[in-house]
């Protein structure tokens, strides 16, 4: 039996840096408070909690009762920074640099298209922490679309400035771009003057869907490891399921079932962009133990 960990799985750049920052602070201090979940992976959060990390809400952070406050990788809207500054709370910032760059681009675009000169359209999940942070940089006036069906929310009579949540896949994003261009063409409107496309998805994550499809194609069983709150994890898991290959979504080693591996020859282990490498490796070791025991 062959058991292989997906080489494309593991934490993305922003998640990795956030974890490193949290670990560094915890080595210096006895406790660290993060505003919201640092990352969307319960196993990694629990590991950091054992080192002294605690999760709090923004209302708690600005109370002044919590030292060593950290803003998570997903980013925060400007109002969060204004609140902690007003409360005179010192904050460490673990926002992904790619998210910071996108926040600045959206803020700049918004300042240039006020008074009806255009509209910002953001491809993403409306309640996702990153999207909430991005919306804050345009006074919450962007149009958020989750899929092609929601293109009807756009006013095609005024210029469109399209951005994407950094963790969205290039394949989906470019399809939306093509649909907008096609709609403009049907309305006899020039895309060159009516449409601005910003390639704002994370380059590491952008092609993760394609890479995953290539990884699973020769497998007869996939163990997909992800936090239950990870939207990225749910999307990638669905990609595995859609291939028709037997796939199981799990968050903890205890979720593994010996019966899954009977008569299987090629097992793949993959995960979300917030799934730590150490967890994937522990999963692989446990699968080997279960196989040997059967």
* CATH number of the domain bearing residue 31: 3.40.50.11270
Residue 196 dihedral angles phi and psi, to the nearest 5°: -120, 120
Provide the domain limits for residue 86. Answer: 13-95
In terms of Cα–Cα distance, which of 286, 294, 275 is closest to 6? Answer: 275
Residues 4-30, mean pLDDT to the nearest whole number: 93
pLDDT of 232: 87
β-strand partners of 269: 5, 223
Q: Measuring CA to CA, how many Å separate 45 from each of 8, 23, 227, 247, 259?
A: 22, 11, 10, 25, 29
pLDDT of 201: 84
pLDDT of 294: 65
Boundary-marking domain end, from 201, 219, 245:
201
pLDDT of 206: 81
Question: CA-CA distance, 16 to 41, in Å (whole number)?
Answer: 12
Together in a domain, 119 and 180: yes
Together in a domain, 103 and 65: no
Residues 4-26, mean pLDDT to the nearest whole number: 93
Together in a domain, 182 and 245: no
pLDDT of 251 above 90: yes
**To the nearest whole number, what is the mean pLDDT of the chain?**
94
pLDDT of 195 above 80: yes
Strand-pair category, 221-225 with 266-271: parallel
Together in a domain, 83 and 153: no
Boundary-marking domain end, from 168, 201, 234:
201
pLDDT of 157: 93
Residues 14-33, mean pLDDT to the nearest whole number: 93
Together in a domain, 103 and 196: yes
pLDDT of 67: 84
Together in a domain, 90 and 167: no
Together in a domain, 135 and 122: yes
Together in a domain, 88 and 150: no
Together in a domain, 223 and 153: no
- Would you state the structure tokens that stand for residue 52, as one six-digit string? 């002294």
Together in a domain, 64 and 109: no
User: Where in the sequence numbering do the catalytic residues fall?
Assistant: 130
Boundary-marking domain end, from 145, 180, 201:
201
Residues 95-120, mean pLDDT to the nearest whole number: 93
Residue 18 dihedral angles phi and psi, to the nearest 5°: -65, -40
pLDDT of 231: 85
Q: Looking at residue 6, which CATH number applies to its domain? A: 3.40.1010.20
b/e 7-37 (16+ beta carbons within 10 angstroms → b):
ebbbbbbbbbbbbebbeebbeeeeebbbbbb
Look at the chain and report how many structural domains it folds into: 3
> Does the reported pTM lie above 0.85?
yes
pLDDT of 156 above 70: yes
Together in a domain, 112 and 191: yes
Q: How confident is the model at residue 293 (pLDDT cuts 50, 70, 90)?
A: confident
Helix (H, G, I), strand (E, B) or coil at 187: coil
The 10s digit of each residue's pLDDT in 200-242 is 888 878 888 899 999 999 999 999 999 998 988 998 999 999 9
Together in a domain, 128 and 216: no
The 10s digit of each residue's pLDDT in 72-104 is 999 999 999 999 999 999 899 999 999 999 999
Percent of the chain predicted with pLDDT > 90: 84
């Amino acid at each position: 039996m062959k058991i292989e960990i997906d080489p494309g799985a593991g934490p993305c750049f922003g998640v990795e840096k956030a974890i490193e920052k949290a670990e560094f602070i915890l080595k210096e201090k006895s406790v660290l408070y993060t505003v919201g979940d640092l990352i969307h992976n319960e196993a990694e959060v629990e590991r950091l909690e054992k080192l002294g990390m605690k999760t709090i809400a923004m209302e708690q952070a600005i109370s002044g009762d919590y030292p060593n406050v950290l803003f998570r990788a997903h980013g925060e809207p400007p109002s969060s920074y204004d609140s902690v500054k007003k409360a005179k709370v010192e904050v460490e910032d673990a926002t992904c640099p790619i998210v910071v760059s996108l926040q600045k681009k959206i803020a700049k675009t918004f300042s240039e298209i006020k008074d009806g000169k255009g509209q910002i359209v953001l491809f993403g999940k409306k309640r996702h922490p990153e999207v909430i942070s991005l919306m804050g940089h345009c006074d919450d006036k962007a149009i958020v679309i989750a899929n092609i069906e929601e293109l009807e929310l756009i006013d095609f009579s005024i210029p469109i400035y399209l951005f994407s949540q950094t963790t969205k896949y290039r394949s989906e994003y470019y399809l939306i771009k093509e649909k907008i261009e096609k709609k403009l063409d049907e309305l006899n409107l020039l895309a060159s003057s009516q449409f601005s496309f910003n390639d704002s998805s994370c380059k590491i994550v952008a092609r993760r869907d394609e890479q995953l499809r290539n990884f699973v194609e020769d497998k007869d069983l996939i163990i997909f490891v992800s936090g239950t709150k990870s939207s990225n994890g749910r999307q990638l898991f669905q990609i595995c399921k859609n291939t028709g290959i037997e796939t199981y979504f799990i968050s903890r080693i205890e979720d593994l079932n010996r019966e899954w591996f009977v008569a299987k020859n090629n097992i793949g282990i993959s995960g979300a962009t917030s799934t730590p490498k150490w967890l994937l490796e522990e999963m692989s070791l446990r699968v080997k133990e279960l196989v040997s025991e059967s």
